[in-house]
Amino acid sequence: MDDRNVGYAQGIGSSDIGAFADNLAESLDRQMKIAFEPEERKSLRRFSSTEVASLLRVSTSNLRNRHKDGSFPEVHTDNRGHRIYTAQEIDKLRDILGRTGKNAESYRPGRREGDRLQVISVVNFKGGSSKTTATIHLAQRYALRGYRVLVLDLDPQASLTTFFGFRPELEFAEGGTIYDALRYEEQVPLSAVIQKTYFHKLDMVPAGLMLSEYETETANALARRVQPIFAERLALALEEVEANYDIVLIDCPPQLGYLTMAAVCASTSLLMTIIPERVDLASASQFLTMASGVLEVLYSNGGIGSYDNFAYLLTRFDTAISTQQDLAEWIRELLGDSVIKTPFVKSSAVSEAGLSQKTIFEVDLAGTKNRKTYDRALESVISFSDDIEKMIQSAWGRGGVNET
Ligand SMILES: Nc1ncnc2c1ncn2[C@@H]1O[C@H](COP(=O)(O)OP(=O)(O)OP(=O)(O)O)[C@@H](O)[C@H]1O
Ligand SMILES: [Mg+2]
């Protein structure tokens, strides 16, 4: 009997698996091209005047009047005659307000002289605790709010990278990821792997499978006493570009390996995602115990480990589940103000958008089936982003941005 006909996986050699991988990569590539036609790349939609007013924190009537009196340039209108704005145009208006508005300073939310670059790592052991989803939503929100944002994908799974329309398995198979800026030989400057993106004011550094090699390479480098050690390499890489950004967000892999530790050591603040469930709390506590152990060792060797903020974001929070509500309350009692006020609610609007590598800022509202669900998710994302924005502003010694 021919063995090849028995069962699924018998008689399959490595070349078959290789061919399967190639087919899969090509097919994904085709799918991505179909999804992003006609540009083949993602592009950023235009924003309504209500959205723009809220982003600029002015009233819609103020916005309208400024167009009428000519102090704001005209923009495109949609087929119903409503004004629609590109992200670049929103920035232009912000610029004008920053020169001529009341409290002009407050329209320039970014760093001022002496403010240190905010590097925020999103961490947790637990797979699926919304690290990537929270990171990409925060990054987009802050870019739209007018900050210069850099987002780093530090996870070999590279799911953040795919949110930008990249196909890591094809585009970065030969290099071009954060790995190249961290490696112990043939290291390149960070600027060489930074990608401009379709999203105004948002740059990114991709990840790829090569990153998984970094754990063993780091162990070897430590044994050989190669300098600088992993704990300093990311921070040093960031120094090259620090003047170009206000905020850096780092999406970490679901483990406390050398990559996560490198991020933790390069950060000015840490954001830990926690789903209010028992198993998640156990892994969060485990993560913290291990991280503090490692940090203690590093701290005693050099000034690593002093943070502006260490905050917890409740994620995938299902208010309909009473045990989640109870646990959330308990977490708040335990951790107090370090828990971000607004949780990231669990919502099908978020997971469905995620299926096509979109955030809820990007979904086509016309095609949105359940507007209420969408609005609720959007409100949650905007509010927790604003909570964290206040945290960033307070690290710069300012109490909130153009708050009314
Ligand atoms: N608020 C939310 N509501 C509904 N689904 C969500 C929400 N946040 C994340 N998800 C979904 O949960 C899954 C895991 O999310 P995500 O990839 O962000 O987690 P992660 O912590 O980055 O995972 P990993 O540890 O594998 O990197 C995704 O399918 C995502 O769409
Ligand atoms: Mg992730």
pLDDT tens-digit readout, 220-277: 999 999 999 998 999 999 999 999 999 999 999 998 899 999 999 999 999 999 999 8
pLDDT at position 11 over 80 = no
Interatomic CA distance for residues 285 and 312, integer angstroms: 12
Question: Which residue's CA is minimally distant from atom 30 of ligand 1?
Answer: 351
**pLDDT band, residue 29 (cuts 50/70/90):** low
What would the pLDDT profile of 348-401 be if each residue is shown by its tens digit? 999 999 998 999 999 877 777 789 999 999 999 999 999 999 999 999 999 855
Interatomic CA distance for residues 55 and 401, integer angstroms: 11
Q: Left, alpha or beta for 335 (phi > 0: left; psi -120 to 50: alpha)?
A: alpha
Q: Which residues pair with 84 in a beta bridge?
A: 48
Determine the 3-state secondary structure of 64 from DSSP: helix
Percentage with pLDDT > 90 across the chain: 69
Q: Output Rg (C-alpha) for the chain, integer angstroms.
A: 23
Cβ proximity of 149 and 246 under 8 Å: yes
Question: Which residue's CA is minimally distant from atom 25 of ligand 1?
Answer: 127
Question: Which residue's CA is minimally distant from atom 23 of ligand 1?
Answer: 128
CA 301 to ligand 2 centroid distance, Å: 30
DSSP-derived pairing of the beta strands 309-314 and 269-274: parallel
Q: Which of 25-29, 195-199, 233-237, 285-289 has the lowest mean pLDDT?
A: 25-29
Residue to probe by mutation, ligand 1, list 129, 130, 249, most atoms within 8 Å of CB: 130
DSSP assignments along 162-227, one per residue:
HHTT--HHHHSTTS-SHHHHH-SSS---GGGT-EE-SSTTEEEE---GGGGGHHHHHHHHHHTT-S
Task: Tell me the ligand closest to 123's alpha carbon.
Answer: 1
CA 110 to ligand 1 centroid distance, Å: 29
Interatomic CA distance for residues 136 and 283, integer angstroms: 23
| Average pLDDT of span 111-130 | 94
Cβ proximity of 347 and 376 under 8 Å: yes
Burial of 216 (0-12, 13-18, 19+ CB in 10 A): exposed
Query: What are the tokens at 61?
Result: 């009537």
CA 187 to ligand 1 centroid distance, Å: 32
pLDDT at position 23 over 80 = no
Task: Tell me the ligand closest to 127's alpha carbon.
Answer: 1
> Is ligand 1 within 6 A of the CB of residue 128?
yes
Q: Looking at the whole model, is its pTM more than 0.95?
A: no
Question: Which residue's CA is minimally distant from atom 29 of ligand 1?
Answer: 351
Buried-state track 27-63, b at ≥16 Cβ within 10 A, e below 16: eeeeebeeebeeeeebebebbbbebbbebbbbeeeeb
Mean pLDDT comparison of 195-204, 286-295, 306-315, 328-337, highest-scoring range: 195-204
CA 250 to ligand 2 centroid distance, Å: 10
Contact residues for 26 (Cβ-Cβ < 8 A; gap 6+): none
What would the pLDDT profile of 38-77 be if each residue is shown by its tens digit? 455 788 999 999 999 999 999 999 999 999 999 999 999 9
Atom of ligand 1 nearest to the CA of 348: 4
Question: Percentages helix, strand, coil for the chain, rounded to the nearest 5?
Answer: 50, 10, 40
